[in-house]
């Protein structure tokens, strides 16, 4: 076919439909046609992973996926990780443990980490496993240390067996984090968060 | 005089928040103690601290919420209806003259906006230090990727096609592509002799020093370009304003630098140019001066078209065209006594500035000042030159000259230790700065000298002596086993190997540990801070809460959070209640650039002064100190009702004890230095020359960690960039153009390449820093590379004197040593060193 | 993105026969370029290096999916992804070097999309799976409107990035014979870093002996050291029919120089590749049998 494709996708649990050229990149469909700018472009070559989304549950570089191949698929982006304004455990861990510095790699990393935690089925992945799961997500700011720690902390929190961290910084309670979140000043350029709506689904705590 | 530190210290898990170990200055030197919270060295005048202190605690990073939610709007995320997409047409040759520019008549140019140098309303230059770099080339081309034309159109595909429809005919000239060629002066491409800047630092009597030395060691060290590789490419958005001015937004570190550049390029008064920083995805110096260029381009297209124009580079263009770290060749000749005492040090530095001056004089300056490293030496001569080549101009990158020269001095120290048969830590201990020592520029280090502290802490924490011995024994055992034909089958199973295992069976590996000791001056060099004349302000919002007004930018390091902590603590309110205004030149004063490790120490210091002043005013007004945050707010709102706005300002005043002579290059180069020591453990695969970093252990004295997690984050991130500098990152050239400008081929570390990084923060407060804080941003970059080189030397027996120590370089060095020693190693023929002047066969 | 993606046309056949007809269409139209996971094609498109304007989607063709485990071979549908390869229990057990190669392709995001046939069709001399397929004497099954063919892997590449296939043929499957039980399989990729890297030297080895310890199956397959993936046949010959010994290993090393022709390029250097190719061969042999390191 030439011209446009009538693309029907489920993005972050919501049915979406757009008319786009078939070879338009999924990354650009998300950012431009669907207004979901959380997913980023860092290289256009599938090297940096800033464009990582889940496509039918698996992590992919959306800069390498033509729109037509996403037709009928489920996509999860960073915008789909929080439930309404409540941060997921992963997101919370990133905020508290310094795993996000400039933040440009953060959406892609969160999505890759989300996939890792989903397939770890409740286990806390080892440091080596986390590093391998994130090997396709380049970060230039953090040195990865706090990212790896935050992913593991989130997994541990999910198990509800996390031991208190020795230096006392890692394991704030969810309620404390929420208090802080509601009082915190945002940067001046922050947009208002659209409530995440999931048609017909009960809200579920997510990793 | 070595300081004594307590022998036992709880070892933090890798990745746990670093335990804080700090010391308070005392009358007779430095003592140490350990506590959960640190009282500030200067008591806040009010006796009431309204909350447990925020400074020294790792509160949740305020900037991070938007980022983890994917709501932070970076430049390319902004929805700007009607904006055009701008693109740059660049030179494809490194040197020559533009003979003709033709727009392909077969292309449909309707609607394509076109701008060249003739469209520039003001001066055709990117104002910085010297006015030598044009915004757009006129006739002469001095480097590949030099910008010549600008094009814009609504449709990105159209403007991309338009770029390809421009034909430029050149008269090429023979380019100067290496510092050697520049110094040979066969072609003059800058000034009279290709030298952009020369600096000499001298102390004592060099000849006498060498005459008295027991041993003299010489070395030549080379380091190459390094690309900052922020994950967000450069991007700027510009629009004309109704009053005939310009508003420019984008990914940048220094809004007032861009502001200054635009006022000159567009002949506009200050009030008509407004520059706003958008959320920035990494800078590392790569967005210090370059945004003035891309901002000027977007502005010119906006000027010409009357429409908003956004230019966002793709990665290919960003790597090829923007600034990089200055390559350097550093020669050292060092005289030492048999007991390891340094008595003479002669250092020659040549840096490659690229085609235009940009920041080269300052990079050279910092490099030269740090070239003697962390060591006392009575007789020093440092001669430094920055030369021009026909390559894209080099610029700021974290460390700014110091990573280059400290790599050299640290490698030199390891060579000296080897020559003397001395332990590398012991050699450093003998010579490391202590309070009262004098630097090559004649600066007396009066306070906050953490050199010995970080050296001892690092050595202790990593278990230096035991590890060094253990690796030596393991290497000897491995060599013995291999000679006997016995190899470990690690990972091998009958029928094959574990999938996804990178530990292939029967490898030949060796291990080693190396250590470095470095320092980094905080703030602008010499009289730089005085010339900057930074200003900061705090005012009250209508809701009675304070608002910080500075031009410093959050680029990942946590500026917003840290400023909020400093101001909050001083005012006695929670950090979360302090607003930091957006860095917008229309709304904030010029508090100077976000560079040079000055943000916390200098600007944080100014803000602390403002906050104190505000607090005093409010206390006087209320006739009592505020009881808590709500009370503060009530008092503040009463002020606003009764007295109107409240705004306090503070201006940088040079501390009286700092003296610097720009002409003689002598005196106090910086108010204070931060110090770091770094131990790196590696495993080298002898079959492939690959080096894997197993672990990094580092102690860093930063005066005071306002936010320990953020400070550790700076250290971890800078350390990994230093490891990339040492092992992976190399810019390769072909005919004067960057060959490896795809991310596939410019290699930075992945999470699997990164080792666990164990950080210990040492706090030896600086009396002039807010809460004792010095600088942390760049210090971590200076330490890793020489430690890697030293670790590889223990593992393999060879000191490689060029970084990155790529597998190719290492195998060549091993073969060279082997052929000298007549062992049966496979010999490799020497291959020309990579560099812009060395061509690769296809 | 330096290509005009909005101008690209896509054909989406639902069945293999439709796809093959599209590929065979007369020369008046541009023959469509097949696209599977797109992990190579979109890199070229991004750099503006791919002029094709018509594409043929392969992902919709169910006939090209699936992994069949037969008694003596594993048959991979063309669209088998590297992630499927590295996690499939039979492949991990029977073709461990293929699973190892799959695990080193790019990173997870790439492995989830990149297909085995895409790797083969892209024909880069640096392709990670290609030496493994070569070492295992894989067979590439192709089809066109004219029928099916089976091309032994060693005959697949006729030159740099050139396949022996006809322009209208599509790869449908790759069958890989299971090595004899007791065979030692080995894979090593020497890349630019520990993940997300392109190989500088990539090697797959296979070795099996008879009851008298004589080497009867010897395969040394390399990538990135010649215009195509190559078998180091002269080096292999040095081992055939003999029990393992240091002398045999030494002969193999000497012969190796005749089998490979590495160059300097953007990633590495000729001399380095030559040295490492030999070292990796040594590593394979000593991992396979310590007697390769001892005198005969």
User: What ipTM was predicted for this assembly?
Assistant: 0.97
For chain B, the C-alpha Rg in angstroms (whole number) is: 27
Task: Inspect the interface and report whether the beta carbons of C290 and B507 lie closer than 8 Å.
Answer: no
| Beta carbons within 10 angstroms of residue B59's beta carbon | 21
Name the residue with tokens 């004349």. Answer: B533
Task: Inspect the interface and report whether the beta carbons of C266 and B840 lie closer than 8 Å.
Answer: yes
Report the distance separating Cα C40 and Cα B619, nearest Å.
67
User: Which pLDDT score is estimated for C28?
Assistant: 74
Cβ atoms of A54 and A76 closer than 8 Å: yes
**How buried is C294 (Cβ within 10 angstroms: 0-12 exposed, 13-18 middle, 19+ buried)?**
middle
Mean pLDDT for B543-548 is 97
Report the distance separating Cα A39 and Cα A30, nearest Å.
8
Residue B33: is its pLDDT beyond 60?
A: no
Task: Inspect the interface and report whether the beta carbons of C110 and A65 lie closer than 8 Å.
Answer: no
Specify whether the backbone of B439 is left (phi greater than 0), alpha (psi in -120 to 50) or beta: beta
SS3 C144: strand
Mean pLDDT for B810-823 is 80
User: Which pLDDT score is estimated for A187?
Assistant: 30
Q: Would you list which residues of chain C are within 8 Å, Cβ to Cβ, of chain A?
A: 1, 5-12, 35, 37-39, 42-43, 45-47, 55, 57, 59, 83, 106-110, 112-113, 194-196
Considering chain B, what percentage of its residues have pLDDT values greater than 90?
A: 87
- pTM for the structure as a whole: 0.91
Full 3-state SS string of C195-220: CCCCEEEEEEEEEEECCCCCEEEEEE
**pLDDT by residue, tens only, chain A of 207 residues:** 458 999 999 999 999 999 999 999 999 999 999 999 999 999 999 999 999 999 999 999 999 999 999 999 999 999 999 987 799 999 999 999 999 999 999 999 999 999 999 999 889 999 999 999 999 999 999 999 999 999 999 999 987 543 344 333 333 444 334 433 333 333 322 333 323 333 333 333 333
Cβ atoms of B684 and B690 closer than 8 Å: yes
User: Which pLDDT score is estimated for B738?
Assistant: 98
**How buried is B28 (Cβ within 10 angstroms: 0-12 exposed, 13-18 middle, 19+ buried)?**
exposed
Report the distance separating Cα B686 and Cα B247, nearest Å.
57
pLDDT band at B842, cuts 50/70/90?
very low
Give, in order, the Cα–Cα distances in Å from B383 to each of B102, B191, B223, B670: 47, 19, 17, 19
pLDDT band at B821, cuts 50/70/90?
low
Residue B27: is its pLDDT beyond 60?
A: no
Report the distance separating Cα A28 and Cα B24, nearest Å.
55
Q: How is residue A137 annotated by DSSP?
A: S
Residues 57-116 of A with CB under 8 A from B: 77-79, 81-82, 87, 91, 94-98, 100-107, 110
Report the distance separating Cα B779 and Cα B665, nearest Å.
23
Q: How is residue C81 annotated by DSSP?
A: B
The domains of chain A, with CATH numbers, are 5-80 (3.10.20.30), 89-193 (1.10.150.120)
Q: Among residues B461, B511, B479, B425, which one has the least CA distance to residue B793?
A: B511
SS3 B403: helix
**pLDDT by residue, tens only, chain C of 296 residues:** 999 999 999 999 999 999 999 999 866 789 999 999 999 999 999 999 999 999 999 999 999 999 999 999 999 999 999 999 999 999 999 999 999 999 999 999 999 999 999 999 999 999 999 999 999 999 999 999 999 999 999 999 999 999 999 999 999 999 999 999 999 999 999 999 999 999 999 999 999 999 999 999 999 999 999 999 999 999 999 999 999 999 999 999 999 999 999 999 999 999 999 999 999 999 999 999 999 988 54
| Beta carbons within 10 angstroms of residue B732's beta carbon | 20
Q: Per the structure block, which two tokens stand in for B40? A: 């500030």
What ranges do the domains of chain C cover?
5-57, 62-177, 184-294
| Beta carbons within 10 angstroms of residue C178's beta carbon | 17
**Contact status of B466 with chain C (Cβ, < 8 Å):** no
Q: Per the structure block, which two tokens stand in for B434? A: 């202590």
Chain B residues with beta carbon closer than 8 angstroms to that of C206: none
Q: Tell me the pairing of strands B535-540 and B647-651.
A: antiparallel
Which residues, other chains included, contact B663 with Cβ-Cβ below 8 Å and sequence gap of 6+?
none
pLDDT tens digits, one per residue of A152-169 = 999 999 875 433 443 333
In this structure, what are the phi and psi dihedrals at residue C44, rounded to the nearest 5 degrees? -65, -40
Task: Inspect the interface and report whether the beta carbons of B231 and A138 lie closer than 8 Å.
Answer: yes
Report the distance separating Cα B771 and Cα C38, nearest Å.
54
Task: Inspect the interface and report whether the beta carbons of A25 and C196 lie closer than 8 Å.
Answer: no
Q: Among residues B50, B130, B57, B117, which one has the least CA distance to residue B89?
A: B117
Domains C62-177 and C184-294 share a fold: no
Chain B residues with beta carbon closer than 8 angstroms to that of A185: 62, 564, 576-580
pLDDT tens digits, one per residue of B180-190 = 999 999 899 99
Q: Among residues C66, C54, C59, which one has the least CA distance to residue C25?
A: C54
Cβ atoms of B499 and C86 closer than 8 Å: yes
Cα A68–chain centre separation: 23
Q: How far away is chain C from the Cα of B78, in angstroms, using its nearest Cα?
A: 19
User: Which pLDDT score is estimated for B487?
Assistant: 83
Mean pLDDT for B47-71 is 79
Continuous H helices in B534-626: 559-571, 604-622
Cβ atoms of A170 and A146 closer than 8 Å: no
**CB < 8 Å & 24+ apart, contacts of B559-564:** B559/B594, B559/B599, B560/A187, B560/B62, B560/B63, B561/B59, B561/B61, B561/B62, B561/B63, B561/B707, B561/B710, B562/B599, B562/B600, B562/B604, B562/B706, B562/B707, B562/B710, B563/B603, B563/B604, B563/B607, B564/A185, B564/B54, B564/B62
Specify whether the backbone of B382 is left (phi greater than 0), alpha (psi in -120 to 50) or beta: beta
**How buried is B622 (Cβ within 10 angstroms: 0-12 exposed, 13-18 middle, 19+ buried)?**
middle
Q: How is residue B118 annotated by DSSP?
A: G
Fold (CATH) for C184-294: Enolase-like; domain 1 (3.30.390)
Q: Which is more confidently placed, B245 or C28? A: B245
Give, in order, the Cα–Cα distances in Å from B147 to each of B88, B89, B115, B137, B150: 6, 6, 11, 6, 8
pLDDT tens digits, one per residue of B84-122 = 999 999 999 999 999 999 999 999 999 999 999 999 999
In this structure, what are the phi and psi dihedrals at residue B497, rounded to the nearest 5 degrees? -120, 160
Mean pLDDT for B458-483 is 96
DSSP B196-210: EEEEEEEES-HHHHH
pLDDT tens digits, one per residue of B203-234 = 999 999 999 999 999 999 999 999 999 999 99
Helices A89-97 and A106-119, packing angle to 10 deg: 130
Report the distance separating Cα B112 and Cα B149, nearest Å.
12
Cβ atoms of C245 and C260 closer than 8 Å: no
Cβ atoms of C193 and B728 closer than 8 Å: yes
Report the distance separating Cα B354 and Cα B334, nearest Å.
30
Smallest Cβ–Cβ distance between C196 and the set A21, A24, A135 belongs to A135
Q: Which CATH number fits domain C62-177: 3.40.50.360, 3.30.465.10, 3.40.50.620, 1.20.1050.10?
A: 3.30.465.10
Best probe of the B interface among A91, A184, A186, A196, by most B CBs < 10 A, is A184
Report the distance separating Cα B391 and Cα B838, nearest Å.
13
Chain B residues with beta carbon closer than 8 angstroms to that of C102: 499
Helices B255-265 and B290-305, packing angle to 10 deg: 50
């Amino acid at each position: 076919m030439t011209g446009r494709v009538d693309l029907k996708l489920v993005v972050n649990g919501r049915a979406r439909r757009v008319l786009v050229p078939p070879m338009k990149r999924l990354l650009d469909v998300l950012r431009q046609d669907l207004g979901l700018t959380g997913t980023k472009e860092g290289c256009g070559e599938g090297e940096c992973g800033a464009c990582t989304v889940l496509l039918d549950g698996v992590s992919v570089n959306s800069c390498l996926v033509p729109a037509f191949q996403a037709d009928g698929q489920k996509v999860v982006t960073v915008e789909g990780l929080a439930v309404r304004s409540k941060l997921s455990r992963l997101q919370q861990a990133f905020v508290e443990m310094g795993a996000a510095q400039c933040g440009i790699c953060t959406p892609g990393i969160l999505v890759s980490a989300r996939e890792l935690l989903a397939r770890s089925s409740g286990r806390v992945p080892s440091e080596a496993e986390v590093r391998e799961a994130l090997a396709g997500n380049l970060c230039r700011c953090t040195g990865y240390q706090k990212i790896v720690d935050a992913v593991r902390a989130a997994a541990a929190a999910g198990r509800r067996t996390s031991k208190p961290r020795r230096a006392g910084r890692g394991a704030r309670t969810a309620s404390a984090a929420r208090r802080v979140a509601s009082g915190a000043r945002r940067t001046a350029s922050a947009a208002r968060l659209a409530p995440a709506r999931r048609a017909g689904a009960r809200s579920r705590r997510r990793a | 005089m070595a300081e004594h530190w307590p022998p036992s210290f709880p070892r933090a898990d890798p990745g746990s928040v670093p335990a804080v170990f700090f010391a308070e200055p005392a009358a007779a030197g430095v003592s140490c103690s350990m506590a959960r919270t640190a009282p500030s060295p200067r008591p806040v005048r009010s006796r009431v601290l309204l909350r447990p202190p925020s400074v020294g605690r790792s509160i949740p990073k305020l900037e991070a919420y938007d980022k983890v939610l994917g709501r932070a709007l970076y430049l390319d995320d902004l929805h700007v209806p009607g904006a055009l997409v701008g693109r740059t047409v660049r030179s494809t040759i490194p040197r020559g003259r533009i003979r003709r520019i033709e727009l392909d008549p077969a292309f449909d140019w309707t609607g394509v906006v076109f701008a060249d140098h003739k469209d520039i309303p003001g001066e055709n230059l990117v104002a910085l230090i010297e006015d030598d770099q044009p915004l757009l080339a006129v006739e002469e081309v001095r480097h590949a990727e030099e910008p010549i034309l600008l094009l814009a159109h609504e449709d990105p595909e159209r403007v991309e096609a338009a770029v390809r429809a421009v034909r430029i005919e050149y008269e090429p000239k023979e380019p100067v592509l290496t510092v050697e060629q520049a110094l040979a002066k066969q072609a003059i491409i800058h000034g009279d002799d290709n030298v952009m800047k020369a600096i000499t630092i001298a102390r004592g009597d060099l000849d006498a020093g060498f005459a008295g030395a027991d041993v003299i060691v010489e070395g030549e060290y080379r380091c190459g370009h390094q690309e900052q590789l922020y994950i967000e490419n450069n991007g700027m958005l510009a629009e004309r304003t109704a009053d005939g001015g310009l508003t420019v937004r984008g990914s940048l570190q220094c809004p007032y630098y861009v502001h200054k550049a635009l006022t000159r390029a567009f002949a506009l008064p200050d009030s008509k140019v407004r520059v706003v920083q958008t959320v920035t995805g990494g800078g590392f110096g790569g967005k210090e001066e370059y945004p003035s260029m891309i901002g000027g381009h977007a502005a010119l297209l906006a000027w010409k078209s009357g429409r908003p124009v956004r230019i966002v580079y793709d990665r290919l263009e960003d790597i090829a065209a923007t600034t990089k770290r200055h390559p350097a060749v550093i020669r050292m000749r060092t005289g030492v006594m048999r007991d390891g005492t340094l008595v003479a040090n002669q250092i020659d530095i040549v840096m490659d500035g690229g085609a235009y001056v940009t920041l080269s004089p300052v990079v050279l300056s910092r490099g030269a000042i740090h070239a003697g490293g962390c060591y006392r030496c009575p007789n020093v001569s440092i001669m430094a030159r920055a030369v021009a080549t026909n390559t894209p101009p080099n610029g700021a990158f974290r460390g700014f000259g110091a990573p280059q020269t400290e790599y050299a001095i640290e490698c030199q120290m390891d060579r000296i230790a080897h020559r003397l048969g001395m332990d590398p830590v012991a050699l450093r201990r003998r010579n490391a700065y202590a309070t009262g020592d004098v630097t090559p520029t004649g600066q007396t280090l009066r306070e906050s000298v953490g050199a010995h502290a970080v050296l001892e802490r690092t050595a202790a924490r990593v278990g230096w002596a035991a590890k060094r011995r253990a690796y030596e024994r393991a290497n000897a055992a491995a060599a013995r086993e291999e000679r006997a034909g016995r190899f470990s089958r690690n990972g091998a199973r009958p029928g094959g190997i574990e999938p996804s295992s990178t530990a292939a069976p029967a490898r030949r590996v060796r291990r080693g540990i190396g250590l470095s000791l470095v320092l980094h001056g905080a703030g602008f060099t010499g009289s730089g801070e005085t010339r900057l004349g930074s200003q900061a302000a705090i005012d009250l919002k209508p809701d009675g809460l304070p608002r910080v007004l500075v031009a410093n930018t959050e680029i990942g390091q946590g500026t917003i959070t840290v400023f909020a902590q400093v101001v909050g603590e001083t005012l006695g309110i929670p950090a979360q209640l302090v607003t930091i205004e957006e860095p917008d030149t229309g709304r904030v004063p010029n508090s100077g650039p976000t560079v040079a490790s000055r943000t916390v120490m200098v600007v944080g210091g100014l803000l602390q002064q403002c906050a104190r002043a505000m607090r005093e005013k409010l206390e006087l007004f209320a006739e009592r100190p505020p009881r808590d945050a709500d009370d503060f707010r009530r008092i503040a709102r009463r002020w606003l009702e009764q007295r109107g706005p409240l705004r306090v300002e503070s201006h940088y005043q040079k501390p009286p004890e700092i003296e610097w002579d720009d002409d003689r290059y002598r005196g106090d180069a910086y108010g204070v230095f931060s110090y770091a020591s770094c131990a790196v453990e590696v495993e080298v695969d002898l079959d492939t020359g690959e080096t894997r970093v197993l672990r990094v252990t580092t102690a860093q004295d930063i005066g005071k960690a306002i936010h320990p997690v953020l400070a550790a984050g700076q250290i971890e991130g800078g350390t990994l960039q230093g490891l990339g500098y040492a092992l992976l990152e190399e810019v390769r050239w072909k005919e004067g153009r960057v060959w490896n400008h795809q991310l596939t081929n410019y290699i930075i570390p992945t999470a699997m390449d990164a080792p666990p990084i164990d950080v210990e923060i040492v706090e030896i407060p600086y009396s002039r820093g807010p809460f004792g804080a010095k600088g942390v941003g760049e210090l971590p970059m200076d330490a890793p590379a020489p430690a890697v080189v030293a670790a590889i030397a223990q593992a393999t027996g060879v000191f490689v004197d060029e970084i990155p120590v790529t597998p190719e370089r290492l195998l060549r060095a091993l073969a060279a040593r082997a052929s000298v020693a007549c062992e049966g190693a496979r010999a490799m023929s020497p291959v020309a060193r990579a560099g812009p002047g060395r061509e690769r066969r296809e | 993105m330096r290509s005009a993606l909005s101008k690209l046309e896509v054909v989406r056949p639902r069945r293999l026969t439709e796809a093959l007809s599209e590929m065979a269409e007369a020369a008046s139209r541009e023959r469509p370029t097949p696209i599977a996971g797109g992990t190579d094609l979109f890199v070229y498109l991004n750099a503006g290096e791919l002029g094709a304007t018509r594409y043929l989607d392969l992902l919709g063709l169910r006939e090209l999916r699936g992994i069949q485990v037969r008694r003596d071979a594993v048959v991979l549908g063309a669209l088998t992804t590297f992630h499927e390869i590295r996690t499939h229990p039979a492949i991990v057990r029977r073709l461990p070097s293929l699973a190892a190669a799959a695990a080193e392709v790019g990173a997870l995001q790439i492995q989830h999309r990149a297909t085995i046939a895409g790797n083969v069709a892209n024909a880069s001399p640096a392709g990670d799976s290609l030496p493994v397929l070569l070492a295992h004497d894989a067979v590439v099954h192709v089809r066109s409107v004219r029928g099916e063919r089976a091309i032994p892997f060693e005959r697949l590449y006729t030159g740099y990035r050139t396949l022996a296939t006809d322009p209208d043929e599509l790869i449908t499957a790759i069958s890989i014979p299971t090595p004899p039980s007791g065979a030692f399989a080995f894979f090593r990729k020497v890349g630019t870093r520990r993940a997300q890297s392109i190989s500088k030297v990539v090697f797959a080895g296979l070795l099996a002996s008879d009851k008298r310890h004589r080497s009867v199956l010897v395969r040394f397959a390399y990538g990135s050291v010649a215009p195509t993936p190559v078998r180091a046949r002269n080096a292999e010959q040095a081992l055939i029919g003999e029990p393992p010994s240091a002398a045999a290993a030494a002969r193999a090393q000497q012969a190796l120089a005749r089998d490979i022709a590495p160059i300097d390029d953007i990633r590495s250097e000729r001399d380095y590749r030559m040295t490492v190719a030999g070292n990796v061969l040594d590593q394979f042999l000593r991992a396979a049998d310590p007697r390769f390191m001892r005198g005969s």
